[in-house]
Structure 1
Amino acid sequence: MDWLFVPFEVSFVQRALWAGVLVSLICALAGTWVVLRGMAFLGDAMSHGMLPGVALAALLGGDLLLGAALSAGVMAFGVTALGRSQRLSRDTSIGLLFVGMLSAGVIIVSHSQSFAVDLTGFLFGDVLAVTAPELGKLAAALAVAVIVSLAGHRAFVALSFDPRKARTLGLRPGLANALLLGLVTLAIVASFRIVGTLLVFGLLIAPPAAAVLWAKRIPVVMAAAAVLGMAATAIGLLVSWHWGTAAGATIAATAVVLFFLSALGAELRDRVRAVPEKTNTEVEHAL
């Protein structure tokens, strides 16, 4: 059984595991709403919209996380502002901002010859290089995510299932939508350092999507998503250690595999349930 525990005796793998656990918890809180509200395209646009901020921060020698946060904030503000237009659909607004921000980022990157490694880290993450101060930042991000989730839970539920009822109940759906967008932004910014922007959806969407197939209550979905995300982190790091694969990509791929296993299990469950129902129906017709 040494193969199971030896990797986690190494300090940088331990930090990677803790980072993955913290990110899994953050993504479970935000990703559940992303799945329930069908916001996957928005999340994709938000993650790629961070590139200009990261590129500028790298060029100026600043904090990449701060650059990513500022850029994502601009993206979120743009989505909120354009979303008020009656002439443009939400998808059109998001798509235009997506292309604009990504193009700006690529233009900035193209003016530097030293971005090969940095850009690779931005796109695919570097979970094994996480430092103790970064773990502190992730813990702080998790605390903020928990506060926002608790404070906005009732409004988020109403917004997800009946926006008109949310307005009737005085829950201020506009503010709730902005808070939810901020929660998703926080999850993406916190996660990109771990698994990169191209792979962030492995932890943001796959665990909640897998949990939704089995649970009906939102808190249960969040809890199950957190467990699945942490399992994907541990398994991904273990596979990466023994097979020599990229850690961030392996974690994300493991999360997706767990989703498909969950979907397969849910399909088998539904078929098993359908057999007695079909039999009972045939008996009723016979009588």
Structure 2
Amino acid sequence: MVIALLESALFAPFGAAFMLRALLGGVLVAALCAVVGTWVVARGMAFLGEALAHGMLPGVALATLLGLPPVLGAAVSAAGMSAAIGALSRRRLSDDTAIGIIFAGMLALGVIIVSRSRSFATDLTAILFGDVLAVRADDLALVGSALAATLVIAIAFHRPFVALAFDPAKAATLRLRPRLARTVLVGLVTLAVVASYQAVGTLLVVALLLAPAATARHWTHRIPQQMALAAALGAVWAYAGLLVSWHAGTAAGASIALTAVTGFLASLALRPAVVALRRPREHPVPAPRPGKVIP
């Protein structure tokens, strides 16, 4: 009886086609974001992912008004943001400053376009947060194609990315072209955000880009293992978040995002205890008795 109830609670929701597509979409996005997010966390580029995810609003709004695919507008906006950030960075502005300025400008422009367009039929909340339960087959194909391309690029640029993340000066000395590697990495972040946002929304993209990769970094220092662990964690959290959404009647994307953040915080709290258990116990040295010398 108990087993039957557990099976019903854990697996019955995915008998619905839309829930199964949502789970598949979450798993694909988790894998894509794990590959890119590992480098984002290692390089300290978290703010870039957030800025790209929400700075796409002007392009999405204009594309919707013109009857074009929103993902096309998102791609144009994200590419424009990446180029503008790179241009400002070359003028001796810090990356955070350049990203913050462009992000604020793009988001403000998007809100103005939406507020001035009375015929705008798409809810601003839907643009920013999406609906993972509305994932379609073509969304899955897009994310799957982006994942394949990302894996190829990540393998090809593995050495330059490692050098860029840990020692940019050495990367230049070894002629690994750190500037090109940085441009390619920004391009991968852009690809991950653009390919995933329409399927799962920007909130979930940012959560899966950062939380699984940051959690995996607690447990292993090898990049391939971090990517694999982050992908597995992201998939598990997508499954758990969808279950919470189904049984509690909450927003699916937000439920998955909160599950991912909760998992990260739990890992952060658990790691010191695990490290302490793994550390060999140090046997106290007995105090010498008077008149005796310990050799």
TM-score, normalised on structure 2? 0.91
- 1: CA distance, partners of 2:172 / 2:287: 47
User: 1:110-133, CA deviations, whole angstroms, 9 ceiling, x for partnerless residues?
Assistant: 112354753111221211111111
Check whether the contact 1:155–1:171 (CA below 8 A) recurs between aligned residues. Answer: yes
Task: Give the aligned partner of residue 226 of structure 1.
Answer: 231
Amino acid at match of 2:144: A
Task: Give the aligned partner of residue 50 of structure 1.
Answer: 56
**C-alpha displacement at 1:195, in angstroms?**
3.4
Amino acid at match of 1:34: V
Q: 1:53 to 1:271 in 2, by over 3 A?
A: same
Q: Percent identity?
A: 56
Provide the secondary structure at the position in 2 that maps to 1:205. Answer: helix
| Gapped regions of structure 1 (runs ≥ 5) | none
The answer to whether the aligner puts 1:92 opposite 2:97 as a matched pair is yes
Q: 1:16 to 1:283 in 2, by over 3 A?
A: same
The answer to whether the aligner puts 1:75 opposite 2:81 as a matched pair is yes
Provide the secondary structure at the position in 2 that maps to 1:113. Answer: coil
| Gapped regions of structure 2 (runs ≥ 5) | 1-6, 289-293
Task: Give the aligned partner of residue 4 of structure 2.
Answer: none
User: 1:185-240, CA deviations, whole angstroms, 9 ceiling, x for partnerless residues?
Assistant: 11111222233223422100000101000011000000000000000111111111
Task: Give the aligned partner of residue 143 of structure 2.
Answer: 138
The answer to whether the aligner puts 1:172 opposite 2:174 as a matched pair is no
- Of the two, which has the highest radius of gyration? 2
Task: Give the aligned partner of residue 31 of structure 1.
Answer: 37
Q: 1:23 to 1:199 in 2, by over 3 A?
A: closer
**C-alpha displacement at 1:75, in angstroms?**
0.5
- 2: CA distance, partners of 1:249 / 1:284: 56
The answer to whether the aligner puts 1:256 opposite 2:222 as a matched pair is no
- 2: CA distance, partners of 1:245 / 1:117: 21
Q: 1:82 to 1:184 in 2, by over 3 A?
A: same
Amino acid at match of 1:92: T
Check whether the contact 2:215–2:230 (CA below 8 A) recurs between aligned residues. Answer: yes
Check whether the contact 1:121–1:193 (CA below 8 A) recurs between aligned residues. Answer: no
CA RMSD of aligned residues (A): 1.7
Check whether the contact 2:35–2:151 (CA below 8 A) recurs between aligned residues. Answer: yes
Check whether the contact 1:7–1:241 (CA below 8 A) recurs between aligned residues. Answer: yes
- 1: CA distance, partners of 2:140 / 2:91: 40
The answer to whether the aligner puts 1:159 opposite 2:159 as a matched pair is no
Task: Give the aligned partner of residue 108 of structure 2.
Answer: 103
- 1: CA distance, partners of 2:53 / 2:68: 19
Amino acid at match of 1:227: A
Check whether the contact 1:32–1:222 (CA below 8 A) recurs between aligned residues. Answer: yes
**C-alpha displacement at 1:15, in angstroms?**
0.8
Task: Give the aligned partner of residue 4 of structure 1.
Answer: 10
Provide the secondary structure at the position in 1 that maps to 2:219. Answer: coil
Provide the secondary structure at the position in 1 that maps to 2:220. Answer: coil
The answer to whether the aligner puts 1:59 opposite 2:61 as a matched pair is no
Provide the secondary structure at the position in 1 that maps to 2:264. Answer: helix
**C-alpha displacement at 1:73, in angstroms?**
0.5
User: 1:32-68, CA deviations, whole angstroms, 9 ceiling, x for partnerless residues?
Assistant: 0111111111211111211111111111111111111
Q: 1:266 to 1:284 in 2, by over 3 A?
A: farther
**C-alpha displacement at 1:21, in angstroms?**
0.9
